[in-house]
Amino acid sequence: MKVLTLFVFAFGIFLLTFKLTQIPPGIDTDEGSIAYNAALISETLHDRNGRTLPFFILSADKNDWKQPVLVYSSAVFFKFFGTSLVTFKLVNIIIAILTIILLFYLMKEIFPYGFAVLGVLIFFTTPAVIITSRIGNESVDPILFSTVWLLALYKFQSKRQIKYLILAAFSLGLGFYSFKGMRVIVPVWILISTLFIVWQYIKNSHLYSSLLNQKSSTQKIYKKILSLMRINFTNKNLIKSLIVFFVTLVPFFIIIPLLEQKYAGAVFDRKTINMDPFRHYLYYWISNLSLPSLFFKGDIGKIYEMPLYGFFSLGVLPAFLIGIVESFKNRKFYLFILVCYLATPLLFGFAGSLDYPHRLMASVPFFVIITTLGCKRIYEYVKLNSETTIYRIVYKLVTLFVVIFFIYNFADFSRYYYFEYPKLHSTRQAFGNDLNASFYQLSKIAKEKNLTAYIQEDIYTRGVEGNKFFEIAYFDKPLKLWRLGETLPPKSVLLTQNEHITDSENSGIIVTPLNILIRY
């Protein structure tokens, strides 16, 4: 079984890293901004605007604030492993791998070992995980914090130790600043956490046990409920648990007015809370949970857009639906996970968020556990009915169909994502800056031949922050700009669209559609 576990992890890491700098085929504006500012902070402790270790980083167009978790994680990686596109991309890959390691640990607690390994496979083959972890923005980061939060609450349920509540609160606080979409998710999880903590003390009460077995009149039951609430809400351990949880949370939220004053719109994006009819919020909540949206439609964000390939794999839909039913039946921690999954987009109506499933990345750990529970139930049902020949044949055929359905859907997605998607015009437009290899080769030639590096001016200004990141990553000093019609100085190497200029020769290095020309 350990060999199988290692194989599944190796397979998953391969899926996340295969042609990492080529799929997607470039970087988009947000990636360039995050990478550039992280590189500056790792070298100078200042961002592009000259601010020293800012909490948020303002984008070049002054319209967006970059969240601190990914920027500073990338800055640390650049400091220790060197600045490059590969290092930058690996930050989110490592976040995804850390997530599944923690999730695997949790699944081993609630499932037999084999099903925990199956859960790892489901995680790695989920389209949302593959797509977002290979893009250098913040959308994948919430899965780490949701997993830590879930694991901490499970441990608190088992061990009843305060340190797990501190960990749960800390993960919610950090998660709040990991991705803008978490602004409307974390408040829901705080409420869920509070109810979960209270429930841990209520369910073990003698009054609660007697209430379950109560056959008396409605009036007596009502009195027992009141007594139960009074006793538990004066329970010192419960009060202590709630105080510790909220005291850990408070620092993350008490600084919001200061952050809004210093970084206007960085926390709540200059949005006001409108009190719309409840149907408005119900519509957004239900729409973000709809099966067509999650399993068929895909994301409408241009860097996530993949028509007909959903956020979750269609191949596990049967197991997911069975897992939902089993969560209701089984109760225990599974019911809590289902509540988390269903409640996560509860406040999406305040943000008007619809058809952007990548904003639900935080719910991926819940999805994986629910789907794994469904797989476990399918296996148990087949095993239970294997004594009768006809049942054994029928249920084995059903199981075989589910497995083939999963493999076919994943193979179809992989074919499209790894081999067709990078070639699409829409993909190349979304990830407009594909100059990483060009900058790297220009740097390599300049260093090997001791030449001064030039770049055609309009090429450099086309993808400003992305190009500035490549410049910091691969060059020891700033690039010199060259305009069309100018003479290239001797002992120079130029990245240009031209195939030939006076007194120069082609380097022979292919960086299509550009050329690297040398003048000795």
Enumerate residue ranges in the chain where pLDDT < 50.
207, 211-212, 221, 226
- Per-residue pLDDT tens for 366-414? 999 999 999 999 888 877 766 666 777 777 787 888 889 999 999 999 9
Return the residue matching tokens 């904003």: 359
| Residues 360, 453: Cα–Cα separation, whole Å | 44
**H or E element that contains 452:** strand 452-456
What sections of 111-159 are H helices per DSSP? Answer: 113-124, 127-133, 142-159
What is the predicted pLDDT for the residue at 211?
47
Domain residue ranges of the chain, discontinuous segments joined by +: 2-419, 436-519
What is the predicted pLDDT for the residue at 218?
52
Cis peptide bond prior to 68, omega within 30° of 0:
no
Question: Which one-letter DSSP state was computed for residue 26?
Answer: S
Return the residue matching tokens 């492993």: 81
CA 138 from centroid of its chain's CA atoms: 7
What is the predicted pLDDT for the residue at 377?
92
What's the pTM value of the predicted model, to 2 decimals? 0.93
How many C-beta neighbours within 10 Å does residue 340 have? 24
What is the predicted pLDDT for the residue at 388?
66
**Angle 129-135-137 (CA atoms, 0-180°, nearest 5)?**
105
Q: Taking phi first (over 0 means left), then psi (-120 to 50 degrees means alpha), and beta for anything else, what does residue 508 get?
A: left
| Residues 438, 466: Cα–Cα separation, whole Å | 13
